[in-house]
Amino acid sequence: MWSIPKDILEAEILCRLPIKSLLRFKCVSKEWHSLISDPKFALYRQKKQGEIDNNNTIHQRVLVLAISPDRLQSLHCLTRCITELNFNFPFESRPNVIIGSCNGLVCMALHGCKDFFIYNPSTRAYKKLPDPDISLGSPYLYGFGYDSSTDDYKVLAVSCLRVLLKVFSMKAFSWRDVQYNLGVKLFYGTESPPKGCLFNGALHWLVSGFHFGSQDPVIIAFDLAEEKFCRVGEVCHPRSVSLGVVGGCLSLNVCCSNCVDKTTDFELWVMKQYGVHSSWERLTKIDSDIMVRYHGSLVTLCTATGTNGGDEIIMINKWREFISCNLNERNLEEIYRPNFDWSETVSYTESILSPNVL
């Protein structure tokens, strides 16, 4: 009986297949089941997909969590197709906060940082995490990411008022206290989300610069390997409202409001060299006459491949509609208007990775 060498099977065949096919092919043999279920294969497949399709932007999706606890949708950024993802969690509580996403996995929780789940929207697999057994109070910061130095997925929860820092390790499957090393309390604006922006092996937030001796907002980061906070630097514009990742760079959403004529311009900036303030570069600007047609301020979600093959930015406006911005033509297009009230959203990449084998 003929057989396919494992390296060819993994590198040239299985890593090119869609998620649904891989799930079916688990039944071919024990060897295929073991290979497809291996977290290392999932990461290798994601890397190969990124080389094939422009950093996984073709397979970029946006998860939309409804205020109603039983509704979850996924928007495919390229095809604009909507997939209904029914919760199959056999628990009374349902997540209503999205902590973050990483390598195709999404971390969600209840308000107050309880009932944490790691969920794969592509396979519907999930795992419930133990509670941190504390009340963080409000306000608090949180995030979810991957520590490549230890091959570990971590969840972070920070109480801004109590100066309390908790980290959950998937490998240890437990929460632990981590020393808070910043020396000042953290405060974030009402426009800036408490969800950390994962980039360069660290979680990033836009916080008030008051305790850092700055009138403008300041970017801070939590290194997932060293488990320490650091100050990345000041923003390039005082009207910065949120962080993102665009084109492999840390990005900044800027809304410039004119109080006289009540108009708003939108600017997207990228930090070309990480941690270097002088490397901030304006990527695009959308004038107020275009902005007014799309209901004001925008928040960047992710970079995606557009329907014409070019790069585009997926954003949300203040009416909670999903907008695409073509970077070459600098025009906006409404791509999705949910027909329900939603509370949280996050971008993610399709992945075979299961939270049950981490």
Residue-wise pLDDT tens digits, 299-318: 778 877 666 656 788 888 87
Separation between Cα atoms, residue 52 and residue 322, nearest integer Å: 27
128-154 average pLDDT score: 84
Calculate mean pLDDT across residues 232-256: 82
* CA dist 1 → 4, 29 (Å): 10, 14
* 75 has a pLDDT exceeding 80: yes
CA 207, 155, 96: angle at the middle one, nearest 5?
80
- The 10s digit of each residue's pLDDT in 332-358 is 888 888 888 888 899 998 899 999 988
Strands 298-305 and 322-326: unpaired
Neighbours of 124 (CB within 10 A): 12
Bridge-based pairing of strands 311-317 and 322-326 is: antiparallel
Question: Higher confidence at residue 167 or residue 211?
Answer: 167
| Angle, helices 39-52/30-37, rounded to nearest 10 degrees | 70
Residue reference for tokens 């790069």: 311
pLDDT value of position 306:
61
H-only helix segments in the chain: 6-8, 19-25, 30-37, 39-52, 288-291
* Greatest mean pLDDT range, 31-35, 87-91, 97-101, 255-259: 97-101
* pTM score of the predicted model: 0.88
Average pLDDT over residues 280-286: 87
pLDDT at position 105: 96
Q: Are 305 and 61 in contact (CB under 8 A)?
A: no
Among residues of the chain, what percentage have pLDDT more than 90? 27
Write the pLDDT tens digit of every residue in 10-35.
Answer: 667 888 888 888 989 888 888 888 88
Q: Which of 59-63, 89-93, 159-163 has the highest mean pLDDT?
A: 59-63
Task: For residues 60 and 76, give the distance between their C-alpha atoms in angstroms, rounded to a whole number.
Answer: 6
Among 84, 60, 81, smallest CA distance to 72 is for 84
pLDDT above 70 as % of the chain? 78
What pLDDT shows up at residue 190?
46
Average pLDDT, the chain: 81
If pLDDT is split at 50, 70 and 90, which confidence band does 123 have? very high
Among 118-122, 193-197, 218-222, 242-246, where is mean pLDDT lowest? 193-197
Please state the rounded mean pLDDT for residues 278-305: 77
In terms of average pLDDT, the best of 3-17, 56-70, 72-86 is: 72-86
Q: Starting from the edge strand earliest in sequence, which strands make up the sheet with 240-246, in order? A: 240-246, 249-258, 263-271, 280-286
Q: What is the pLDDT of residue 57?
A: 56
Q: Which residue has the higher pLDDT, 162 or 267?
A: 267
Statement: residue 192 has pLDDT above 80: no
Beta carbons of 205 and 186 less than 8 angstroms apart: yes
Of the given ranges (181-185, 221-225, 242-246, 248-252), which has the lowest mean pLDDT?
181-185
d(CA 318, CA 19): 34
